Every structure is written in C-alpha cells, then in structure tokens.
C-alpha cells in the first residue's frame, strides 16, 4: 500500500510536475500509484481535494487488472492502457454513468496520456512512446451495484486503464460530491515517492 503523506507533502509534489498550472479551486482528485505495484491488487490511493483542502481518501487501482494485461487485444491490439504518472490532467472528467450503469467520472473534457503495455507479463508497465487521446479513462467503482458494501481485493477486469476505487461505501459518498457538479474535474496522477 501507498505510504501515509501529509497534505503539504502531496501538494508540494504535485506543484513540482512540469504539467502543473495551478491547484484547481474546484474539486479535484489526486491518484498515487504504489511503488509495490502488486499485480491485480488494489494497492493505490486517491485523494479528493477542494482547492488545497483535503476532503477524503479512498483506496483503488491506477493500473489495469491482470486479465486485461494478458488479454489486451480485446480492447487494443497495441496493449493495455497505462495512464502516464507524474502528470496533471486538467478539466478531464465530468459526472456521468460508466457503461450506462454506475455513477462515475467520465473522460469527456480533455485528452489523457497513455502508454500501451503489450508484453502480456501481467505486470503494469509504462512501455513505448506515450500517446495523448480520448481513451475512456474513467473514474469508477469496481462493481456495477452502487449499493454493494463488499470491498473486492482483486482488480481482474475492472480496469482496462480506468482509475478504479474498491471501497463502495466511501465511493458512494464521493460520488455525492460530484453529482450535479457544474465543473469539469481535474486529475493528477503521481508515483509514490
């Protein structure tokens, strides 16, 4: 799991990134990708902020599951989408329904930078040259039942590049913040440091 940070440590780190413009005054999300990067495990964290004020934290994954990494050709012949870390994605998400089934944040605002991991070794890696585009990199729960309370431990097919929390009770609380939210949501993904 990702280590504990102070708000100052996290905010200082995101301000150091070359893609940093300013801390959004609105709600935004910070993802931290675990150094351990245990295949198929929810070992990452997401922090919800309003400006520089911390609101909530939830665990999840910033990596595809092993079933996607080993069978990526079902989604893309070049490889599984690995969202580039240490990058800001400004005004990238809007509230909607992931696959028409569950409240989520959808990539409708801006392009995102992905690597394509096509070596099928089951480990998530930033391979090759990254490309910017609209890839459907959404922020959604690892279940289509918003009322579940089960915290799943294996990613499996729940992420093909999406940023996926695995704590349904906390997720439901977070989605209440974004429902009817009038602003696009920025996302910053960093590697654990």
Secondary structure (DSSP) of the chain: -PPP--HHHHHHHHHTSTT-----SSEEEEEEE-SS--TTB--EEEEEEETTEEEEEEEEESS--HHHHHSGGGT-TT-EEEEPSSEEEEEEEEEEEETTTEEEEEE-SS-EEEEEE-S-SSS----S--EEE-----B--SSS-TT------B-GGG-SS-BEE--HHHHHHHHHHHTT--S-EEEEEEE--
* Distance between CA atoms of residues 102 and 114, nearest Å: 24
Cβ neighbors of 116 (< 8 A, separation 6 or more) are: 72, 76, 78, 79, 80, 81, 82, 127, 128, 131
Residue ranges of domains in the chain: 7-191
Per-residue pLDDT, 146 = 85
pLDDT digits (tens, 9 = 90+) for 90-149: 999 999 999 889 999 999 999 999 999 989 998 999 989 999 999 999 999 999 988 999
**Six token digits for residue 33:** 């990708």
Span 3-52, pLDDT tens digits:
999 999 999 999 999 999 999 999 999 999 999 999 999 999 999 999 99
Instruction: Answer whether 166's CB lies under 8 Å from 61's CB.
Output: yes
Q: How confident is the model at residue 73 (pLDDT cuts 50, 70, 90)?
A: low
For the segment 157-167, the average pLDDT, to the nearest whole number, is 95
Exposure string over 158-167, b if 16+ CB within 10 A, otherwise e = bbbbbbbbbb
């Amino acid at each position: 799991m990702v280590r504990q940070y102070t708000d100052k440590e996290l905010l200082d780190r995101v301000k150091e990134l070359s893609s940093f413009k300013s801390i959004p005054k609105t709600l935004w999300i910070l993802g931290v990708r675990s150094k351990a990067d245990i295949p198929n495990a929810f070992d990452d964290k997401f922090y919800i902020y309003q400006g520089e004020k911390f609101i909530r934290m939830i665990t999840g994954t910033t990596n595809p599951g092993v079933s996607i990494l080993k069978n990526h050709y079902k989604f893309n012949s070049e490889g599984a989408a690995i969202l580039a870390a240490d990058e800001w994605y400004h005004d990238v998400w809007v509230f909607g329904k992931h696959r028409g089934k569950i409240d989520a944040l959808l990539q409708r605002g801006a392009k995102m930078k992905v690597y394509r991991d096509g070596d099928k070794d089951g480990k998530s890696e930033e391979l090759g040259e990254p490309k910017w585009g609209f890839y459907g990199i959404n922020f959604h729960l690892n279940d289509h039942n918003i009322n579940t309370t089960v915290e799943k431990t294996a990613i499996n097919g729940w992420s093909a590049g999406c940023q996926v929390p695995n704590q349904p009770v906390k997720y439901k609380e977070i989605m209440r913040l974004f429902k009817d939210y009038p602003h696009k949501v920025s996302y910053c993904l960093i590697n654990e440091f």
